[in-house]
Structure 1
Amino acid sequence: MAYWLFKSEPFKWSWEMQKAKAKAGEEWDGIRNYQARNFMRDMKIGDLGFFYHSNEGKEVVGIVEVCKEIHPDSTTDDPRWECVDIKAVKDLPKPVTLADVKATPALAEMALVKSMRLSVQPVRPDEWALVCKMGGL
């Protein structure tokens, strides 16, 4: 299993909106960055990810699961762009802020700190475990 982080601006797609999709999940569409798209190509059903509110809040608020592997992005006819579907799994009891992550030396190399603009990012297993612990899981 691999771990990921999915960033979304809450006014466009919030954690509450993601949870409302329940088990059906939702296409993680609109990604127009090759590196982020390539990360999605590596994802497998059952991989887990953090759901991160960017711009507003700047915090990890929940955990999602990949429920459909890479397929054409329905928001474009351009065949270069693909996406996965994700479904909400659980809330983080205590959201983990970007400030919390940056203040934690063991997370200094996390993509969230190093590649802040990337909307889909890998998360190492040790980073996953630590952020989960910080979030009350």
Structure 2
Amino acid sequence: MNYWLMKSEPEECSVDNALASKNATVPWVGVRNYQARNFMRDAMRVGDGVLFYHSSCAEPGIVGIARVASTAYPDPTQFDPDSPYFDAKSRPDEPRWLLVDVQVLRKISTLPLPALRARPELAELLVLKKGNRLSITPVEPRHWQAITGSSAVVQPDKAGS
């Protein structure tokens, strides 16, 4: 099992948007970084844990616990000329960009960056590294456990299933 931190701007897709959607599941559209795409394509598996992170907002931080709910598949926004994520060089027979579906299991009180930085056991968490701007980063199991208090396999709870 792998663990991930996935950033979303609340105006694009907030944890509340995800919870309000069918099965609390949303397609993670708009990733336009090859390394982040490769994480989805090559390393993410259904059931992997996700720290849902709000970025580019008044209080950036971890706002929810989620899981990867699908394998990677082509992001349809790359083919839509009206989408801000349109990519004229991407073709349906050779898509450049992929996405996974993410299912929010529960919303948590925001764990803002200063609170994360104040915890010595999280010093190596990638989102805290200077210059790290990736929208998707791997999370070490020890960091996942320190943040969630659990090393359990991520499963939807009764309300989220």
TM-score by length of 1: 0.90
Say if 1:105 and 1:24 are closer, same or farther in 2 by CA, change over 3 A: closer
Say if 1:64 and 1:22 are closer, same or farther in 2 by CA, change over 3 A: farther
Match of 1:126 among 132, 138, 142: 142
Shift of 1:116: 3.2
- Could you tell me whether the CA contact under 8 Å between 2:126 and 2:137 is conserved in 1? yes
- Could you tell me whether the CA contact under 8 Å between 1:21 and 1:87 is conserved in 2? no
Uncovered stretches (5+) of structure 2, i.e. residues with no partner: 80-89, 150-161
Shift of 1:68: 0.9
**Greater Cα offset, 24-33 or 66-75:** 24-33
- CA distance, structure 1, for counterparts of residue 116 and residue 123 of structure 2: 8
Match of 1:107 among 119, 122, 141: 122
- CA distance, structure 2, for counterparts of residue 24 and residue 97 of structure 1: 23
- CA distance, structure 2, for counterparts of residue 83 and residue 30 of structure 1: 8
Uncovered stretches (5+) of structure 1, i.e. residues with no partner: none
- CA distance, structure 2, for counterparts of residue 116 and residue 19 of structure 1: 27
Q: What stretches of structure 1 move > 2 A for 4+ residues in a row?
A: none
1:81 aligns with 2:97: yes
Q: Map of 1:91-106 to 2, 5 A cutoff?
A: 91-92=107-108, 94-106=109-121
| Paired position in structure 2 for 1:51 | 52
Q: Radius of gyration: which is bigger?
A: 2
- Aligned residues: CA RMSD: 1.4
Match of 1:66 among 50, 65, 68: 68
Percent of matched pairs sharing the same residue: 42
- The aligned amino acid for 1:72 is P
- Could you tell me whether the CA contact under 8 Å between 1:102 and 1:108 is conserved in 2? yes
- CA distance, structure 1, for counterparts of residue 72 and residue 78 of structure 2: 15
Say if 1:53 and 1:30 are closer, same or farther in 2 by CA, change over 3 A: same
- The aligned amino acid for 1:74 is P
Shift of 1:24: 6.0
- CA distance, structure 1, for counterparts of residue 55 and residue 62 of structure 2: 9
- Could you tell me whether the CA contact under 8 Å between 2:54 and 2:60 is conserved in 1? yes
Shift of 1:95: 2.0
- Could you tell me whether the CA contact under 8 Å between 1:18 and 1:26 is conserved in 2? yes
| Paired position in structure 2 for 1:31 | 31
Say if 1:24 and 1:90 are closer, same or farther in 2 by CA, change over 3 A: closer
